[in-house]
Structure 1
Amino acid sequence: MTRHIRHAGYFCALLLVALLVNAARVQVVQAPSYDRNPGNRRPDITRYEQPRGDILVGGRPVTGSRDTREHLRYERTYTDGPMYAPVTGFASQLYGTTLLESAEDGVLSGADPMLAPFPLWNDFTRARNAGGDVVTTLHPAAQEAAYEGLAGHKGAVAALEPSTGRILALVSAPSYDPQPLSGNGSAAARAWSRLTADKDRPMLNRAVRQTYPPGSTFKVVTAAAALDAGVVTDLEAPTDTPDPYRLPGTRTRLTNASKGCANASVREAFTLSCNTVFAKLGAEAGVTDMTATAHAFGFNNGALRIPFPVARSTFDTTLDQAQLALSSIGQYNTRATPLQMAMVAAAVANGGQVRDPYLVERTTRPGGSTLATAGSRATRQAMYPSTAARLRAMMRDVVENGTGRNAAIRGAKVGGKTGTAQHGLGNSGTPYAWFVSWAQGDRDLAPRVAVAVVVEDAETDRGDISGGGDAAPIARAVMEAVLKSPDQPFG
């Protein structure tokens, strides 16, 4: 009898071990496949059973969470949603996440292992930590000025702190309110259908995901290449450029919108925005030097993250002389995001150094302690410091004596470059109005802000559209907002 009882005990122990092994197999080994199963709602229920962490601007949250008392309990809310949508993106229970909500989802949702005091224990229990916060680099007053300046227009604004690469403003217009997309009911589905069907594409982030021909604002890059390559040594010397200028190897004649461009010096041509002079300079600098300078500024870089991806700005590297001449005035295949052109202006303001832009200053745990910081950003020399100094002087001439007078700020040093970019079949589209600039307050040791503005649909006659008339006033408002504020307390 004892032997039978002992055998029965062994058998029961074996069954218990088998049960434990199977439970471990289901809960640990097969857990990922169950999590991915579309029929399993538990991951979604777990994801939304607690409030999401917040995105902060100037120390104030611009996001929140609302308790719906449903299975997917907490729903995302937004403060000033349309103004910050090009930064926050949306967090939707139906359509997922975009922009910062996506790039920093691990921190905001509480899934990031760094938030767990005992990560291995969380892996075993499948528990989720409270979400952390994301502190942005945005300057609230600059963001508001950019948003209000673009009201009623299509376009975008990007503003940077030249010495660090901090993004101070990032606005796209028209924008949208992310709030109606947050839930999982019919209202969210209707909002999605309405937004995706809108011909104005309000969910397109024009500041970082749309590229445009930069027009004459690209002459900053061309001037830098020509100066660094020694094609130009004296800014005051005549350039021996006819008006009109025949593109090399063609019968096509390039003209100017301004008078006084025939044989103009580089300084005069920059102030008057002479296409002929800069097309000739680009052709003389050559593909190699023009390409190298464009690359140094950030063109043709498809890996830029801020932390969400930025569209690749392009400068064609397979050009004949005529195409190079057109590319050197921001036409042909040259394309740039507003953020890229803000980087160009920032490099001039920062002694020729380009700092990779970034949008997140730090992430924090729920209690406020720092989880991670932005750290130092990559730096590269886009041009010689002496070239940057000469460009700063020329950009100041544009604002003080040329086409950028509308960007002038009393008591501040302001440099700028206007641009009017042709596009469409046979250049039939409404020209884009561009302005890139930087500003330095009277008590500042260095420029504090660099801005790029593009307006797609300037509300004037086609012949009157200009970067100085349509885009420069918006840039001035953004620069004033930064200069009038104390140094930004990030967080």
Structure 2
Amino acid sequence: MTEYGNGRPMARYIRHACASCVLLLVALLVNAARVQLVQSSSYDANPANRRPTIARWQQPRGDILVGGEPVTGSTDTGEQLRYERTYRDGPLYAPVTGFASQLYGTTFLEHAEDGVLSGTDPMLAPLPLWNDVTRRASPGGNVVTTLNRKAQQAAYRGLHGRKGAVAAIEPATGRILALVSTPSYDPAELSGNSEAAASAWARLNHDPEKPMLNRAVRQTYPPGSTFKVVTAAAALDAGVVTDLDGRTRSPDPYRLPGTDTRLTNEGDGCRDTTLRDAFAWSCNTVFAKLGVDVGVADMTATAQAFGFNDTRLRVPFAVAPSTFDTHVDKAQLALSSIGQYNTRATPLQMAMVAAAVADDGRLRTPYLVERTTRRGGETVAGGGLRPERQVMRPSTAVRLRELMTDVVREGTGTNAAIRGATVGGKTGTAQHGLGNAGVPYAWFVSWAQGDDDPEPKVAVAVVVEDASADRGEISGGGDAAPIAKDVMRAVLGL
């Protein structure tokens, strides 16, 4: 009794027990905090955890808008993954929207603007900190695109399902007005999580025509003679050519430097002709020699100013870099300068080339999203012009517009002429394949200005790769120029 009578030893045991409980409680809280704050992302990303996926599809996605009208939607399936993505005119807008699939994720705008569309972007919330605490998503916001509905439809209709692509830009702002790739597909086929979606995925991925390939921004082609716009800009800026009507001292055929290979032309009259005539009739010999005379350094500088070799371009999704080889000998430089050898470009890149010519040598960074909004329409982000750079001297751009206008008025691009507008263009028929045995790609790049417009309103690039066509009948002027014409007319309202 003496040992425990005064209660002091017992009190000590109680204090120890309390201290142990407090330590255990602190350890529990620390561990809970570690799980919630440090490791939450790894648990969210664990494939066995379906809660984020279920939560993601518990509310409708926001919409992608064209001309103020949604081209996407959501339908209530009543299933665990409740809302499924729907598309209006899916094949027409697939190169822009991409898909939002419960099985296969997201692509293009559905991916690049997923935070807004899914409602997880903190900027959508009136009280972002409260949303962080509750981990609740706001209602999905909307993405307003720069697309011109009529131009998009004209481009899609003009391609007639053939393999090819169209890109159109507003030169003064960089707004993308049309972005079409064919053959296309309906993104709605991939929206759900049924066997039908899995079957469509397998079919589309094994289709040799590659309908899910966005040829406008993710496929590069040899640009052929359309690249002569770049070569002409380099020659004029460098002072290699000072007079559009002066003789160029160009032989026909032209022997590639350091080789026995002789470069020829499709037509006659290219020997020692002027830059004006060489551009109008697309003389390979003249432009190959001009590229060599300009030199690798200046040709590279001009090409890169237009956007070649740029790996950072986003619109907001990534664009495949167009390429101009910077490590070439003179023979390779000659071929590069007529859009062959390792020179490759996306249709968007060639639309940028035409846009720079149209806008006095300035090039705006192209973009596809005008702004993002909350569901009620309040702007969250966007607006304002994108950065610009001076690609060439303004005087050079003026002379290039003159040359491109001649092509449409009396050269190889007459099929692009539009009554009530000034149109400038450049045709191209690009060889490719082993020994150039592949069916040539038909190119046309152009810009247009209505008679009542203060400046050019649209720049377009069209490429057609039609394996079913007669090789001898493929040409930029015959196959691609009429498509560009329809797109330009749609933008001009003619």
Q: TM-score, normalised by structure 2?
A: 0.95
Does residue 41 of the first structure (1) align with residue 55 of the second (2)? no
Provide the aligned length of Structure 1 versus Structure 2.
485
Partner amino acid, structure 1, of 2:491: V
Is the 1:338–1:454 Cα contact (8 Å) retained in structure 2? yes
Does residue 100 of the first structure (1) align with residue 102 of the second (2)? no
Is the 1:433–1:458 Cα contact (8 Å) retained in structure 2? no
Is the 1:157–1:454 Cα contact (8 Å) retained in structure 2? yes
Counterparts of 1:420 and 1:458, CA distance in 2: 14
Residue aligning to 1:204: 213
Q: 1:11-410 alignment to 2 at 5 Å?
A: 22-410=31-419
After superposition, give the CA deviation of every residue in 1:154-182 in whole Å (9 maximum; x if it has no partner). Answer: 00000000000000000001001000101
* Aligned-residue offset at 1:224: 0.3
Is the 1:458–1:465 Cα contact (8 Å) retained in structure 2? no
Partner amino acid, structure 2, of 1:274: C
Partner amino acid, structure 1, of 2:295: G
Does residue 477 of the first structure (1) align with residue 486 of the second (2)? yes
Counterparts of 2:68 and 2:367, CA distance in 1: 17
Counterparts of 2:304 and 2:333, CA distance in 1: 15
Amino-acid identity (%):
74
Is the 1:160–1:169 Cα contact (8 Å) retained in structure 2? yes
Counterparts of 2:334 and 2:171, CA distance in 1: 29
After superposition, give the CA deviation of every residue in 1:321-343 in whole Å (9 maximum; x if it has no partner). Answer: 11111110000110000000000
Is the 1:432–1:458 Cα contact (8 Å) retained in structure 2? no
Residue aligning to 1:415: 424
Is the 1:82–1:175 Cα contact (8 Å) retained in structure 2? yes
Counterparts of 1:464 and 1:193, CA distance in 2: 35
Counterparts of 2:35 and 2:280, CA distance in 1: 71
Counterparts of 1:285 and 1:422, CA distance in 2: 24
Counterparts of 1:374 and 1:228, CA distance in 2: 33
* Aligned-residue offset at 1:458: 6.5
With 2-11 and 141-150 compared, the bigger mean Cα shift is at 2-11
Counterparts of 1:324 and 1:140, CA distance in 2: 40
Counterparts of 1:389 and 1:484, CA distance in 2: 25
Residue aligning to 1:488: none
Counterparts of 2:247 and 2:26, CA distance in 1: 91
Counterparts of 2:386 and 2:375, CA distance in 1: 26
Residue aligning to 2:3: none
After superposition, give the CA deviation of every residue in 1:137-165 in whole Å (9 maximum; x if it has no partner). Answer: 00000000000011131000000000000
Distance of aligned partners of 1:313 and 1:92 in 2 relative to their CA distance in 1, 3 Å threshold:
same
Is the 1:423–1:429 Cα contact (8 Å) retained in structure 2? yes
Specify the SS of the correspondent of 1:153: coil
* Aligned-residue offset at 1:27: 3.2
Is the 1:135–1:360 Cα contact (8 Å) retained in structure 2? yes
Residue aligning to 2:450: 441
Partner amino acid, structure 1, of 2:141: G
Partner amino acid, structure 1, of 2:279: F
Partner amino acid, structure 2, of 1:188: A
Gaps of 5+ in 2: 1-6
Counterparts of 1:15 and 1:355, CA distance in 2: 62
Is the 1:154–1:457 Cα contact (8 Å) retained in structure 2? yes
Does residue 432 of the first structure (1) align with residue 432 of the second (2)? no
* Aligned-residue offset at 1:113: 1.1
* Aligned-residue offset at 1:118: 2.0
Counterparts of 1:30 and 1:359, CA distance in 2: 36
RMSD: 1.8
Counterparts of 1:410 and 1:125, CA distance in 2: 61
After superposition, give the CA deviation of every residue in 1:226-251 in whole Å (9 maximum; x if it has no partner). Answer: 00000001111111212111111111
* Aligned-residue offset at 1:23: 4.2
After superposition, give the CA deviation of every residue in 1:44-87 in whole Å (9 maximum; x if it has no partner). Answer: 11111000011000000000001111111111100000000000
Counterparts of 1:290 and 1:444, CA distance in 2: 33
Is the 1:356–1:379 Cα contact (8 Å) retained in structure 2? yes
Larger radius of gyration: 2
Counterparts of 1:126 and 1:359, CA distance in 2: 30
Gaps of 5+ in 1: 486-491
Specify the SS of the correspondent of 1:77: strand
* Aligned-residue offset at 1:30: 3.1
Partner amino acid, structure 2, of 1:304: L
Distance of aligned partners of 1:251 and 1:16 in 2 relative to their CA distance in 1, 3 Å threshold:
closer
Partner amino acid, structure 1, of 2:393: Y
